[in-house]
Amino acid sequence: MKTLQSRLTNATFRGLIQVPGDKSISHRAAILASIAQGTSTISGFLECEDCLATIAVLQKLGITIEHPEYGVFVIHGRGGFFSEPSGTLDCKNSGTTMRLLAGLLAAQPFTTTLVGDDSLSKRPMRRVMEPMSAMGASFQATGMKGTAPLIIQGGRLHPIDYKLPMSSAQVKSAIILASLFTSGTTTIIEPTTCRDHTERMLTSFQGSCSCLLDQEERRIISVTGPQKLRACSFQVPGDISSAAFWMVAAAARRGSHVCFDNVGLNPTRTGIIDVLKRMGADISIQPHPTAQAEPLGTITITGTTLQGTIIQGKEIANVIDELPILAVAGVLAHGTTIIKDAQELRVKETDRISAMVNNLRAMGAAVTEQDDGLEIQGGASLSGTTLPSYGDHRIAMACAIAGLFACGETMIENTSCIKTSYPYFEEMLSSFTS
């Protein structure tokens, strides 16, 4: 069990920060490269435990993958043909690996079993099983309450029209991946727009899908299969979800001036910027020219005094991963911050609503737990203490940032989970405060 130490610093935060490659994009780049024809080179790949789980599963499915240097993977695609694996496919802690590969494996003519660690084995999987079953695959969830292990009997699929009960980039991506192997057009209706990396990345691999808004402003995604993807060279931009921790710290410390270079600026992921600006943060963005479908650029933050805000409704889907650190921003702001319509937080690696409420209260913050979020009275003095991570990387990192503003020493227990998304967070924390 690893423990992370964070302590109050009154120094301003300054400098240029390079954040690790985007986690969501790294997963998808590896998967699409595996079903493309030819050899793809993926640079800037996030070598965290979650993304490496995807690499390992693809290798067990017969994909040859080379690793010439850190952050670079050369993937020899087989045009959508995989080998039947011997044994189970271990997704470890990665919900993205399990859900996206469920879509991919639904179209394969063999049976596979997807397993994960204790945390992943408690996360809901029926949301991806339902559309895959409607397309003709056979799914069996052998865990309690429709959870992993998942046994998938793949085969010939047919297109469907499917309305997502709730916006989910992982479920949407699973359907898109399965649709690439069908004959005909699959239509997906998402109630609110969520991250669209899979749709964008298809174009890099010479695939296609169409996206439009209907009269009710719902996003309609259509994919016509079968499609043959082609290999490419792909550069993964920096992860704005990783940058979010340092963005909040810099924004809340008056006099700070921090730049983040080569960060992904996908409009379905920049909700963190919109919320912080609404809280009064001084943020400027310089887009970089790029030939890729994923936009990127430099984000510059100058520290100021934050004000409370309300985070709710349609924007929740685009800040779902950043809500723990935005809760910390609320604690550091003046006034009241309310996070609502965020029930999805309760079925992440842990119940992130209860976890953040418990930890922030332990530090002295005034926080009220709601069924779908939390209400925070900002401005309270924080005190360092020993906090559990709940085995959740985003809880651990958010609380470490809170510790930079707390009197005394903050100790976060069981922080090995951070490696699932940000392997060198601890080193960055040390350099950020030096």
CATH number at residue 118: 3.65.10.10
For the chain, the distance separating the N- and C-terminal CA atoms, rounded to the nearest angstrom, is 26
Nearest to 106 by CA among 151, 143, 147, 141: 151
Write the DSSP assignment of 211-265 as a string of letters.
Answer: EEE-TT--EEEEEEE----B--EEEPPB-HHHHHHHHHHHHHSTT-EEEEEEEE-
| Options 50, 239, 321, 392, the catalytic residue | 321
Give, as one character, the DSSP assignment of residue 125.
-
Pairing of strands 210-213, 184-190: unpaired
Domain match, 389 and 332 both? yes
Q: What is the total count of domains within the chain?
A: 2
Same domain, 200 and 282: no
Annotated catalytic, 321? yes
- The reply to whether 260 and 349 lie within a common domain is yes
Q: What are the residues whose beta carbons fall under 8 Å from the beta carbon of 130, sequence distance 6 or more?
A: none
- In sequence order, the 6+-apart residues with CB closer than 8 A to the CB of 98 are 91, 114, 116, 120, 125, 148, 150
Asked whether residue 40 falls in the same domain as residue 50, the answer is: yes
Q: 332 and 259: one domain?
A: yes
Q: 226 and 249: one domain?
A: no
What is residue 349's three-state secondary structure? coil
Q: Both 221 and 331 in a single domain?
A: no
Cα 37 to Cα 207: distance, rounded to the nearest angstrom: 12
pLDDT tens, position by position, for the chain (434 residues)?
588 888 888 888 999 999 999 999 999 999 999 999 999 999 999 999 999 999 999 999 999 999 999 999 999 999 999 999 999 999 999 999 999 999 999 999 999 999 999 999 999 999 999 999 999 999 999 998 889 999 999 999 999 999 999 999 999 999 999 999 999 999 999 999 899 999 999 999 999 999 998 888 899 999 999 999 999 999 999 999 999 999 999 999 999 999 999 999 999 999 999 999 999 999 999 999 987 889 999 999 999 999 999 999 999 999 999 999 999 999 999 999 999 999 999 999 999 999 999 999 999 999 999 999 999 999 999 999 999 999 999 999 999 999 999 999 999 999 999 999 999 999 999 888 77
Q: Say if residue 337 is in the same domain as residue 204.
A: no
**90 and 115 Cβ atoms separated by less than 8 Å:** yes
Of 218, 235, 252, the residue that ends a domain is 235
Give, to the nearest 10 degrees, the angle between helix 169-179 and helix 95-105.
20
CB-CB contact of 268 with 221 (8 Å): no
The parent domain of residue 101 ranges over 23-235
